[in-house]
Amino acid sequence: MLEAFSADVEEMTLSEIADTADLDAGTTFRMLNTLVDLGYVTRVPDSRRFRLTLKVLDLGFNAVARKDLRTLVHPVLRSLVGELGEAASFGVLDGGDIIYLERMRAGLTRLGVEIRIGTSIPAAMSVIGRAILAFLPKDALDRALATQPRHGVLAAPVPSRVKLLPALEEARERGYILQESMIAGGLRILAAPVLDHDGVPVGAISIVRLMSCSSHEEMRASAVGPVLAAARSIARALEASGSTVLSLG
């Protein structure tokens, strides 16, 4: 339906949109009203015609921004994998969920729940998600916790705010989170936020180790410094590239 509009045909009636998009009138009506509610299409005043809004540009801009972001993050994650962990990830907040935008693994070892690029997990149930939540301003944190997560690959209950806030406060004081995975047994995860120049998280990185191969103290001693340095490196690269809006919600 969006592609039905063009530079030559900027405004159309519902029936014209249906004909161009090869859709029936009922489907067109429902989809058109959804696009109007979302702000991608607007009704032309005093007429029965519709036209696109500038919000459709955001779709392309966001896609380009994410591609550039993965290009910046990829070499940093690669430097963390192998020597420091079995896998390294970068994620951003999307409402109440963490979305994994980049991930690298050292080998073929199965690490519990399969995490891929685009995987969605409730932020409160994800160590990398908590690394972002811990550094959000209060109003942004309240919005994130009030948003119903999609759950994605996970169906476990999200912890209550009463249980979550002390853990977030501790993470904020430390500057990172190091704990056992909440969604897969036998894994220990270290995560740190990527902060902008105002100290607001625009994402977070994490590394994963098998608990059988490394103690909590060993991982803290060997990995905290490099992971924090990697987070700062990504932040500097993003600032230099002009990428500023990484949170999706």
Mean pLDDT of 222-232: 94
pLDDT band for position 154 (cuts 50, 70, 90): low
User: In order of start, what are the domains of the chain with their CATH numbers?
Assistant: 2-53 (1.10.10.10), 58-241 (3.30.450.40)
Mean pLDDT of 36-47: 87
Taking the alpha carbons of 99, 208, 226, 193 in that order, is the dihedral positive or negative? positive
Residue 194, pLDDT > 70, answer yes
What residue ranges in 73-127 does DSSP mark as E strands? 87-94, 97-105, 120-122
Q: DSSP assignment of 177-222, as one string?
A: EEEE-SSSTTEEEEEEEEE-TTS-EEEEEEEEEETTT--HHHHHHH
Residue 54, pLDDT > 90, answer no
Residue 57, pLDDT > 80, answer no
What is the structure's pLDDT at 110? 56
Q: Quick count: other Cβ atoms within 10 Å of Cβ 201?
A: 24
Q: How far is CA 163 from the centre of its chain?
A: 23
What is the structure's pLDDT at 149? 67
Mean pLDDT of 153-174: 81
Residue 5, pLDDT > 90, answer no
- What CA–CA distance (Å, rounded) separates 96 from 191? 18
Instruction: Select from 85, 93, 91 the least CA-distant residue to 69.
Output: 91
Tokens of 158: 């999200």
Buried b (16+ CB within 10 A) or exposed e, 73-96: beebbebbbeebbbbbbbbbbbbb
